[in-house]
A and B are shown apart, each in its own frame.
Chain A
């Protein structure tokens, strides 16, 4: 299996704060890897380092075999930020079309792909609606469509289900699984433990450190815990 994402001894310091503190990571192709940790644990910083938005203080990251930062490889990467990050004064379709163009989706392919991706997130009926008129959940779906439109091989999703109702959350995870089955690699950050069960592998993060990683079952077994929450607390306790 190919390693799609690799981080080695990754450090990112903001003054005295060690947001990411010597983190090693390897994510394989077609895997859903969950970054699990409380708010402020360093998940967003790690994703930004992986995608090249931040320069590491030391260490390095590779994506799809390329040392980051590498602008060209980003045409094969989809990124969904924690906030919906859309243009409120453009329609749903215009937003998706814009990010398709920015990511280099060929114009000939663009129209059909935008329709396809809007159907996937069930927004085909709202394609012409201005984003500012959408509900929070619809904005999240539009945001996901923007991240998916150029058929990325790697998807980095930063808390994609924050503020999303339980039904839509299930829908999202169904998409994620379909994508992984088609060979797309996903890194999904979350602080919700029950979502983590849906990941192939998990990394527990706290204070910028990777406390443990493995499948949900393996982590529970390793910690001798009944739930992932207990397992997290176990590893966090070990780390001190």
Chain B
């Protein structure tokens, strides 16, 4: 080993990188950007969950204690914490309000709730959950149980005191959960899987396109193509058509593997899932073409990953639900195609929705593809110029 040779090599590498100002800037700025984004998201305060309450509890008169309405005691406890914002509902609005997202769960206290509590020494709480986000469902269930136990503790002690001399025996709260969408068998992976499928399809198609299109320009064939009667739009659409074949096959493989091998639950049509991811893949191809016109080599293509791909993973709903992010980050999420694909996929896989419900998301994805194709057509001759 000759130190002089190693030194020369190291010096050459440093000089080369220093000449690529974009790379130098990216090496320092991109990690800071991504760490900041991660910190904001991880440290974001828990979002207040809108919880519906149907309180029909008529209460009952208890000897020594007077009129008791246990349902109201629990509602007061739920309201006093910082977890829920309580929305009072009637029984016939429950599913509509869960469907439109104004509440994520509804606690129902029937007319004989208090009477039942004193009769059975158990508070049987009916909880209707939206269900598409299993983590949120678990959180609501746990918090409602906790609040109910806290609220009822005093009552239980006094009731048991009357019956058994003050000895507590078992937890007095039973939660009867029912779901608008999905159900108890759905777990966190079922919630993450739709976004994961979308992210992986998008990522690999983007990279494949970026590198292929870059090669077209670096080999000089793009210049040659532009010297034929083919228009820039024809070249781009031809590229999209060719690469989309592989994208669509990839989508099919990912979907079928996820559903059958990993055994992810899904409720809606598999064909519709395929359509959403295939459309997202077309957006990925278009974005790959657009970005590749700003790269001079494969190294610069890789630089688009922290700039274009990772922010979409962080902000597009893969881990954090967009509506639960800090308000100032949400506009960024809404200019990312992955946000709409994730939304559509979750609506189909977890809610069993069909084309009639998810078409706005598909339309937005199509608009993304068209706009990006248009921008790509405008920038495609940069290399020649």
Residues of chain A having any CB pair with chain B under 8 Å: 48, 51-55, 71-72, 74-75, 77, 79, 81-88, 99, 102-104, 146
Q: Closest approach, in angstroms, between the C-beta of B238 and any C-beta of chain A? A: 9
Q: Report yes or no: A103 in contact with B223, Cβ–Cβ below 8 A.
A: no
Q: Does B228 interact with chain A (Cβ within 8 Å)?
A: yes
**Which of A79, A83, A87, A88 is within 8 Å of B227, CB to CB?**
A79
Interface residue SS majority, chain A: loop
Q: Does B385 interact with chain A (Cβ within 8 Å)?
A: yes
Q: 19 pairs across A/B with beta carbons < 8 Å?
A: A52-B227, A53-B223, A53-B226, A53-B227, A53-B384, A54-B385, A55-B385, A72-B229, A74-B229, A81-B220, A81-B223, A83-B219, A84-B220, A85-B219, A85-B221, A86-B221, A99-B228, A102-B228, A104-B229
Q: How far is the CA of A52 from the CA of B219 in the complex (A)?
A: 20
Q: A53-B227, A81-B224, A85-B219 are in contact. List 17 more A-B contacts (CB 8 A).
A: A48-B384, A51-B227, A53-B384, A54-B384, A54-B385, A71-B229, A74-B227, A79-B227, A81-B223, A85-B221, A85-B223, A85-B224, A86-B219, A87-B219, A102-B225, A102-B228, A102-B229
Residue of B nearest to A80 (CB): B224
Q: How far is the CA of A51 from the CA of B226 in the complex (A)?
A: 9
Q: Does B6 interact with chain A (Cβ within 8 Å)?
A: no
A75-B227 CB under 8 A given contacts A54-B385, A85-B219, A87-B219: no
Q: List residues of chain A with CB within 8 A of the CB of B226.
A: 53
Q: List residues of chain A with CB within 8 A of the CB of B297.
A: none
A53-B229 CB under 8 A given contacts A81-B223, A85-B223, A88-B219: no
Q: Report yes or no: A103 in contact with B224, Cβ–Cβ below 8 A.
A: no
Q: List residues of chain B with CB within 8 A of the CB of A103.
A: 228-229
Q: List residues of chain B with CB within 8 A of the CB of A88.
A: 219
Residues of chain B having any CB pair with chain A under 8 Å: 219-221, 223-231, 381, 384-385
Q: How far is the CA of A83 from the CA of B221 in the complex (A)?
A: 9
Q: Closest approach, in angstroms, between the C-beta of B377 and any C-beta of chain A? A: 13
Q: How far is the CA of A77 from the CA of B65 in the complex (A)?
A: 100
Q: How far is the CA of A72 from the CA of B381 in the complex (A)?
A: 18
Q: How far is the CA of A233 from the CA of B229 in the complex (A)?
A: 39
**Which of A55, A72, A104, A146 is within 8 Å of B224, CB to CB?**
A146
Residue among A48, A51, A55, A102 having the largest count of chain B Cβ atoms under 10 Å: A102
Q: How far is the CA of A55 from the CA of B385 in the complex (A)?
A: 8
Q: How far is the CA of A74 from the CA of B228 in the complex (A)?
A: 5
Q: Report yes or no: A83 in contact with B229, Cβ–Cβ below 8 A.
A: no
Q: Closest approach, in angstroms, between the C-beta of A76 and any C-beta of chain B? A: 9
Q: Closest approach, in angstroms, between the C-beta of B213 and any C-beta of chain A? A: 13
Q: List residues of chain A with CB within 8 A of the CB of B385.
A: 53-55
Residue of A nearest to B227 (CB): A79
Q: How far is the CA of A61 from the CA of B333 in the complex (A)?
A: 47
Q: How far is the CA of A103 from the CA of B224 in the complex (A)?
A: 11
Q: How far is the CA of A82 from the CA of B224 in the complex (A)?
A: 10
Q: How far is the CA of A111 from the CA of B221 in the complex (A)?
A: 22
Q: How far is the CA of A102 from the CA of B228 in the complex (A)?
A: 6
Q: Report yes or no: A79 in contact with B224, Cβ–Cβ below 8 A.
A: yes
Q: List residues of chain A with CB within 8 A of the CB of B221.
A: 85-87
Q: How far is the CA of A7 from the CA of B4 in the complex (A)?
A: 55
Residue of A nearest to B234 (CB): A102
Q: How far is the CA of A103 from the CA of B229 in the complex (A)?
A: 6
Residue of A nearest to B225 (CB): A102
Residue of A nearest to B228 (CB): A102
Q: List residues of chain A with CB within 8 A of the CB of B228.
A: 74-75, 99, 102-103
Q: List residues of chain A with CB within 8 A of the CB of B229.
A: 71-72, 74-75, 102-104
Residue of A nearest to B235 (CB): A102
Q: Closest approach, in angstroms, between the C-beta of B32 and any C-beta of chain A? A: 32
Q: List residues of chain B with CB within 8 A of the CB of A54.
A: 384-385
Residue of A nearest to B221 (CB): A85
Q: List residues of chain A with CB within 8 A of the CB of B384.
A: 48, 53-54
Q: List residues of chain A with CB within 8 A of the CB of B381.
A: 53
Q: Report yes or no: A85 in contact with B220, Cβ–Cβ below 8 A.
A: yes
